A and B are shown apart, each in its own frame.
Chain A
Amino acid sequence: MMHLPILPILLPLLAGILLLLLRPLGLQVQRMVGFVAAFALLMLAVWLFDASLAGQRQVYALGNWPAPFGITLVFDQLAALMLLVTAILAVGALWYAIVTEIDAQGSHFHVLFQMQLFGLNGAFLTGDAFNLFVFFEVLLLASYSLLLHGGGKQRTVAGLHYVVVNLVGSTVFLFALGALYGALGTLNIADMAAKVAALPAEREGLVMAAGLLLLLVFGLKAAMFPLYLWLPAAYARTSAPVAALFAIMTKVGVYAIIRVHGTVFGVDAGNLAYFYAPWLLGLGLITLVLAALGVLAAFRLRFQVAYLVLASVAMLLIAVGLHSEAGLAAALYYLVHSTLLAGGLFLLADVIVRGRGTYADRFDPGMRLPHHALLGGLFMLAAVAALGLPPLSGFFGKLWILQAALEHPWRWAVLATVLISSALLLIALARSGSVLFYKVKDRPDAADPVLPTQIPAFGLSLTAVLWLLAAVPLLVVLAHPVAEIMQQVAAQTLDVVGYRAAVFDPAVGGK
């Protein structure tokens, strides 16, 4: 099937258009169409992922223009993996939004949701740096509105910050692309790699400057120190399903670094090979420390979860910064784990917040929650996974990253930072779990209004939480096949020569 790579882009786009057209038919129809589309996307992603395991890259020349002149889509295992994770996350987040009726709190939720997926999938599939910029814009525009969905003052403030910071990011993106185009004469990623491999020495400075600017842009999306300041408030203030979906947004930044920098400044880039990696590793380490302190400092559950997301991104940056095949494979394993876990955590936090009434997500002792034991158990499970304790996937991901780090000259720094920050997370999460679930009041204060005795749509919301958290034990039980797949994906991703060959001679396609 030659059209394979375009399908995950077209499906959400068409669904978005359809939803726009069906707008007069009301919310129920929107929900049905939106969810069916998301589910269809999941099925498609599963099918594509399975297809990708054969090892063939599929290159799609849009408009039938050959690379590097037209825009090419490159469908490989890395793209397939990202598509799959996104689709799993999207189904959970959307389901939660529907059952809790959060989607009804503003206009166009379903359209925006599909367009968000359109932007994400496009970013994962494109083989063209400028087209990547375009899809970044699509996913950002959709995210601006999704972030503000539901309104409220604090959310709007956080949203404004997010928008302005990302506008600056987009501007720098254009500067970087302009400089790269000026220096290399092309924007096709494979072609850029070829040009960098044969780069005249007198252009190295210019290309490195542009490459680092591009790293800054992707780092801004990924929430790398010192560019992450938009993240905590934005994630903590937005509605739960949006925050859950946004778990993939930071990973887009990491993905872009792996894809663009890993390909353009890959093994055969001469003096420029992996020149960006120390930046990534160093900044990742700083991010991790600050994220751990942030988790410890949080007064509210949702801020704590937001900082946990930051910590997981930091782990990814470190793992990618190791620029080894093992590091990348570990990063991908950790990426799947942390994305789905973060999504599940945001949803779980929302269920807890809805059960705590006026105590909301503040770390103050409240009343005993409805479904206290179940929610407490799930929180513990998620916390254990997030701070990387056994027997859940966080531990195995961390272990893998640390093993990869042992081969790196900075191993002591990585080892110490990762383990110390894990200890900080342990202290922080034990405290918050203890306050939320153990330290309950016997009777409400006089000032408390009537507190919830029920969480609305509890069972249905919980299905969404479980859908996402299921990944955490599954990644452990299926560690063998999953790890092998990650190794395969990492190997294919680092095979820059094969990537170039596939783009320029689609008949080759293979490894």
Chain B
Amino acid sequence: MDVSTINLPLAVLLPFVGAAVVAWAAHFHRVAAAWLAGITTLLALGVLYPALIAVFAGETLIQSWVWMPAIGLDFAFRLDGLGALFALMILVIGLLVILYARYYLSAKDSMGRFFAYMLTFMGSMLGVVLSENLLQLMVFWELTSLSSFMLISYWQHREDARQGARMALAITGGGGLALLAGILLLGQMVGSYNLSDVLLAGEQIRAHALYLPTLVLIAIGVFTKSAQFPFHFWLPNAMSAPTPVSAYLHSATMVKAGIFLLARFFPVLAGTPEWSWLIGTVGMITLLVGAFVALFQHDLKGLLAYSTISHLGLITLLFGLGTELAAVAALFHIINHATFKASLFMVAGIIDHETGTRDMRRINGLLKYMPHTAVLAMIAAAAMAGVPLLNGFLSKEMFFDQAVVASGESLWGQAIPVMATLAGVFSVAYSLRFIHDVFFNGEPVNLPKMPHEPPPFMRIPVDVLVVLCIAVGMLPMFTVAPLLAVAVQGTLQGVPPEYSLAIWHGFNEPLLMSFIALVGGIAVYAVRKPLFAWYESRVRGQQLRHLYDWKIDKLLQVARGVTRGFDRGSLQDMLFWVLGFTLLMGTAGFLSSAAPLLGERVLLPLDAVSLAVGATLILASLLSVVLHRERLIALVVLGAVGLVVSLAFVKFSAPDLALTQLSVEIVTIVLLMLALYFLPQYTPRTSAVWRKWRDGILAGLLGLGAAVLALAVMTRETATLADYFVTQSVPGGGGANVVNVILVDFRGFDTMGEIAVLALAGLGIFALLQQIKLYAPAEDSSGRAWALEANPFILQTFSRVLFPLMLMVAVFVFLRGHNLPGGGFIAGLIAALAIVLQNLANGIGWTAQRIRSDMHSWLAAGLLVAAGTGMVAMALGYPFLTSAHTHVHWPVVGDFELASAMFFDMGVFLVVVGATVMILVELGKLNRLDAPTPVLQGEV
């Protein structure tokens, strides 16, 4: 494959691969990690080299593949002048930082981890500046936030490192979310997320209704990343990172990502009053706040951090001015700031490394201990202050020039050059402080280490950068000019304006402003002592950082309050919400249509018996609520409710249902009584009065709602499937009992599911009781011991005689089921009842002892028979559960309808018996834990 067609993604992905290799290699040799990181960076540069040549020749390279067309995401890369400028900064400064870090890290720091994170970050940054697709840019953008989190928290054992990293992640990651929204809107407007399309759609975007929200959202992304006011405070807190990280992330790369985006979107979003107001104002405030606060930092890196904020504000302000020349100045300052700030951070790291502190109140007079480093630092700091013949001077002149141009007529306009000069004053003052405090100003105070020059290789990166500062400052046309030109072209996406990089422009306003700044800066520094005192007493406490911490605390409080308030872990609460919402949604459903609540169908006349039955039902239900504290009585009343319901089934000619209901009712009540044995006899009163009222009203309304729903259905005539079932029952299903044919044939699949449910209930209760330890009380609530007398003799005798008879009834009911009321389900329940009766009459222990077969096998057999019946049909080429039936004539018995569904019903029978008996036996076993098996009369 031709490398030149894939070199952009290759360059971006190389550092990621390198990160993995480095992490692995560090296991074998510490320094190998550094070497490999450096080689990776060089390789990326090498891969990019031909593309850079092409860009300098005026081309824009785009390399694109399909990734996720559904969301307009391409795997697409772009290299133009702007990208080239940033890619070079990322790689070249990256290389220097790697060299520096190799000597900076101490023996107990893991090199593998450091360089792996570093390369990950480098790859992410390259991804940001080389992405053609904006969604892909977002991917890399958030990756820079994540990898910077890892880098800042590199010294994980330090609280400030963890906090600083979290803060940086929260702010830049959070800002990334706003940016994402902005980019989504941009894509929505343009119909494409590819920069090539977006860059051409500037006019369309600026005229669009979504322009302002898009601008604001993108600006938030930019401001958070580039540490603009009021999001700037994360940057000083990120200074707890190792200094190479600060030199890389907080001078040349990460914080410049936001600036990069301003440049990237300059042709698209700039040129409107909204842009100038938003970007310009924020840039100006940041410029001033950063320069001002920087002066008062005693931490060397803190000073540099605020100075960085200030310079980022300057660049932002330049872009905010919106003119092409201002953009040129901004780009120029990006380059210059990267060089002098990276070198200054490295110097700060050297000083920290060699003295053991970064406190400028203690580090004094280092000139004689490390003269070489001191010279480098002084040059770089002078560049930062904007001293002539250094690169900072040139771009600062351009900035002052643009400030004057922008001043115009308005009062606000007039203020721009004034404020710019003021910022220049503070900038000179803090640069002066950096030089004077550290290298002069008497002797060092109580340093942990005796300072001396660093290892030579640690200083080389600083040497290189400082030489660049001087070279650009003195010979701009022969050094930076081509790079700047190509970057300008890439940024503006058009013909670049005329600009001059000369050192001398004659006596003009910018020169005057520079002069005022220099003199003013020296004057401010001269009166620093009272200023520091004032700052300490008035300003220091007012930091945004505290506001942020307070907000996060507040957020946590709110989160905990809301969560604990809503999710109390109370069942009553859960049910209140579920039931309340049931009422709400049901009502809302009816109300969202103009349709009448009830239908036209005439209701049946009310007869006395129905009325009585209905009244009993209501009364019994109410009684079970009123009496619910007396659990046994409540249970009996509940049984009455069930009985009345089965009577209702009889009334509406549903004998099968009545039979089922009746037997289910009995089995359930008996099982519940077994369980009651382990529970307190009375429910304590715990609910507050208001709660009872609330729940009572809700219950009443729900009951009413259920009645209305039922009425709404019953007052309407609907053609249902029933007719089909009735007509097909005999010819299709081979049985005259439609209910049974529905259960085992028409909807046999449902029944199979339901017997699985039953089996699961049995198994579940088995499993639950295996792992639960229940201690049955030895006495009742009034302190009386349980009666241990034998069960009534007559009942015992009769029940044992009845047992086979009941089983016969079960068999009978089972066999007739297909044609007459009955069937496997009811038969199973009757058989289970036969055993329940033994329980009641002879005691649980006695019965349980006599049930020898393992009910697991019954359940398995039942399910197998049911499923097997269905599968026989499959074997014969019919769908699962297809039934067959035939009419046979048996001698003696007579005509007999034989349906395959009977086998299925057999399965049902087995499962019903198995599940019921299993529960009985398991509960019975528990009972025996406590009470000894009563000795029965007549027992041998």
Q: How far is the CA of A210 from the CA of B588 in the complex (A)?
A: 10
Asked if B209 lies at the interface with its beta carbon under 8 angstroms from chain A, I say: no
> Which B residues are in CB contact (< 8 Å) with A430?
149, 165-166, 169-170
Contact indicator B558/A293 (Cβ below 8 Å): yes
Chain A proximity mask over B55-83: 1 for CB below 8 Å, otherwise 0:
00000000000111111110000000000
Contact indicator B771/A434 (Cβ below 8 Å): no
> Which B residues are in CB contact (< 8 Å) with A205?
589-597, 712
Contact indicator A172/B748 (Cβ below 8 Å): no
* A134-B754, A169-B578, A202-B595 as given contacts; A294 in contact with B567, CB under 8 Å: yes
Contact indicator B71/A141 (Cβ below 8 Å): no
Q: Taking CB as reference atom, which chain A residue is nearest B173? A: A426
Q: Taking CB as reference atom, which chain B residue is nearest A208? A: B589
Chain A proximity mask over B871-883: 1 for CB below 8 Å, otherwise 0:
1011000111111
Chain B proximity mask over A112-141: 1 for CB below 8 Å, otherwise 0:
100100110010000000110011011001
Within 8 A of B (CB), among A196-225: 201-206, 208-213, 215-216, 220
Q: How far is the CA of A62 from the CA of B745 in the complex (A)?
A: 9
CB distance from B167 to the nearest CB of A (A): 9
Among B70, B728, B859, B864, max chain A CB count under 10 A is at: B70
Contact indicator B772/A151 (Cβ below 8 Å): yes
Asked if A317 lies at the interface with its beta carbon under 8 angstroms from chain B, I say: no
Within 8 A of B (CB), among A154-183: 156-157, 160-161, 164-165, 168-169, 172, 175, 178-179, 181-183
* A69-B746, A151-B771 as given contacts; A17 in contact with B863, CB under 8 Å: yes
Q: Taking CB as reference atom, which chain A residue is nearest B722? A: A185
Asked if A30 lies at the interface with its beta carbon under 8 angstroms from chain B, I say: no
Contact indicator B760/A112 (Cβ below 8 Å): yes
Partner of A213, one of B188, B585, B597, B873: B585
Asked if A460 lies at the interface with its beta carbon under 8 angstroms from chain B, I say: no
Q: How far is the CA of A229 from the CA of B874 in the complex (A)?
A: 44
Which residues of chain B have a CB within 8 Å of any CB of chain A?
66-73, 135, 138-140, 142-143, 145-146, 149, 153, 156-157, 159, 162, 165-166, 169-170, 173-174, 177-178, 180-181, 184-185, 187-188, 552, 555-556, 558-560, 562-564, 566-567, 569, 571, 573-575, 577-579, 581-582, 585-597, 599, 706, 709-710, 712-714, 716, 718-721, 724-725, 728, 732, 745-750, 753-754, 756-757, 760-761, 763-764, 766-768, 770-772, 856-857, 859-860, 863-864, 867, 871, 873-874, 878-883
* A204-B593, A389-B173 as given contacts; A293 in contact with B563, CB under 8 Å: yes
Contact indicator B585/A216 (Cβ below 8 Å): yes
**Given A107-B766, A164-B571, A183-B713, 16 other A-B contacts at CB below 8 A?**
A17-B867, A64-B879, A64-B882, A71-B750, A105-B771, A185-B720, A206-B712, A212-B586, A290-B566, A296-B560, A329-B70, A395-B139, A402-B181, A423-B173, A434-B165, A479-B68
Contact indicator B577/A427 (Cβ below 8 Å): no
Among A10, A131, A134, A232, max chain B CB count under 10 A is at: A134
Among B73, B165, B709, B767, max chain A CB count under 10 A is at: B767
- Interface segment, A33-41, A48-56, A142-150, A241-249? A142-150
Partner of B142, one of A149, A389, A431, A434: A389
Q: Taking CB as reference atom, which chain B residue is nearest A415? A: B181
> Which A residues are in CB contact (< 8 Å) with B767?
106-108, 112, 145, 148-149
Contact indicator A106/B753 (Cβ below 8 Å): no
> Which A residues are in CB contact (< 8 Å) with B149?
430
Asked if A456 lies at the interface with its beta carbon under 8 angstroms from chain B, I say: no
Contact indicator A131/B746 (Cβ below 8 Å): no
Q: How far is the CA of A359 from the CA of B231 in the complex (A)?
A: 36
Q: Taking CB as reference atom, which chain A residue is nearest B881? A: A63
CB distance from A229 to the nearest CB of B (A): 4
> Which A residues are in CB contact (< 8 Å) with B748?
62-63
> Which A residues are in CB contact (< 8 Å) with B174?
423, 426-427
Asked if A324 lies at the interface with its beta carbon under 8 angstroms from chain B, I say: no
Contact indicator B867/A10 (Cβ below 8 Å): yes
Q: How far is the CA of A323 from the CA of B143 in the complex (A)?
A: 32
Within 8 A of B (CB), among A389-421: 389-391, 395-396, 399-400, 402-403, 406, 415, 419-420
> Which A residues are in CB contact (< 8 Å) with B764?
108, 112, 141-142, 144-145, 148
**Number of A residues contacting the other chain (C-beta, 8 Å)?**
128
Q: How far is the CA of A220 from the CA of B714 in the complex (A)?
A: 27
Could you name 21 residue pairs across A and B whose Cβ atoms are closer than 8 Å?
A2-B879, A10-B871, A20-B856, A62-B880, A138-B756, A142-B760, A144-B764, A175-B706, A182-B713, A182-B716, A184-B718, A186-B721, A205-B597, A209-B585, A227-B581, A230-B574, A296-B556, A391-B139, A402-B184, A423-B174, A438-B162
Partner of A212, one of B588, B746, B772: B588
Contact indicator B577/A226 (Cβ below 8 Å): yes
> Which B residues are in CB contact (< 8 Å) with A271?
593
Contact indicator A21/B857 (Cβ below 8 Å): yes
CB distance from B240 to the nearest CB of A (A): 13
> Which B residues are in CB contact (< 8 Å) with A415?
181, 184
CB distance from A441 to the nearest CB of B (A): 10
Q: How far is the CA of A179 from the CA of B747 in the complex (A)?
A: 19
Asked if A65 lies at the interface with its beta carbon under 8 angstroms from chain B, I say: yes
* A118-B756, A138-B753, A185-B721 as given contacts; A396 in contact with B71, CB under 8 Å: yes
> Which A residues are in CB contact (< 8 Å) with B578?
165, 168-169, 216, 220, 226-227
Question: How many A-B Cβ pairs are below 8 Å?
Answer: 357
> Which A residues are in CB contact (< 8 Å) with B760?
112, 115, 138, 141-142, 145
> Which B residues are in CB contact (< 8 Å) with A427?
166, 170, 174, 552, 555
Contact indicator A434/B166 (Cβ below 8 Å): yes
> Which B residues are in CB contact (< 8 Å) with A106?
767, 770-771
Contact indicator B860/A21 (Cβ below 8 Å): yes
Partner of A419, one of B181, B713, B882: B181
> Which B residues are in CB contact (< 8 Å) with A250?
none
CB distance from B724 to the nearest CB of A (A): 5
CB distance from A236 to the nearest CB of B (A): 11
* A183-B713, A430-B170 as given contacts; A406 in contact with B184, CB under 8 Å: yes
Asked if A473 lies at the interface with its beta carbon under 8 angstroms from chain B, I say: no
> Which A residues are in CB contact (< 8 Å) with B589?
205, 208-213
Q: How far is the CA of A216 from the CA of B580 in the complex (A)?
A: 11
Contact indicator B71/A403 (Cβ below 8 Å): yes
CB distance from A34 to the nearest CB of B (A): 14
CB distance from A279 to the nearest CB of B (A): 8
Q: How far is the CA of A395 from the CA of B579 in the complex (A)?
A: 36
CB distance from B591 to the nearest CB of A (A): 8
* A390-B143, A395-B142 as given contacts; A480 in contact with B68, CB under 8 Å: yes
CB distance from A405 to the nearest CB of B (A): 9
Q: How far is the CA of A101 from the CA of B84 in the complex (A)?
A: 57
Contact indicator B595/A204 (Cβ below 8 Å): yes
Q: How far is the CA of A415 from the CA of B747 in the complex (A)?
A: 46
Contact indicator A71/B574 (Cβ below 8 Å): no
Q: How far is the CA of A3 from the CA of B552 in the complex (A)?
A: 58
- Interface segment, A75-83, A341-349, A461-469, A483-491? A483-491
Asked if A452 lies at the interface with its beta carbon under 8 angstroms from chain B, I say: no
Contact indicator A20/B71 (Cβ below 8 Å): no
Contact indicator A431/B166 (Cβ below 8 Å): yes
Partner of B559, one of A203, A213, A297, A419: A297
Partner of A69, one of B170, B710, B721, B753: B721
> Which A residues are in CB contact (< 8 Å) with B169?
426, 430
> Which A residues are in CB contact (< 8 Å) with B185?
406
10 shortest interchain CB distances as A-B pairs: A209-B589, A182-B713, A145-B764, A134-B753, A151-B771, A390-B139, A20-B860, A296-B559, A141-B760, A483-B70
> Which A residues are in CB contact (< 8 Å) with B878?
64
CB distance from B686 to the nearest CB of A (A): 16
Asked if A315 lies at the interface with its beta carbon under 8 angstroms from chain B, I say: no
Partner of B135, one of A168, A399, A420, A434: A399
> Which B residues are in CB contact (< 8 Å) with A389?
142, 145-146, 173
Asked if A504 lies at the interface with its beta carbon under 8 angstroms from chain B, I say: no
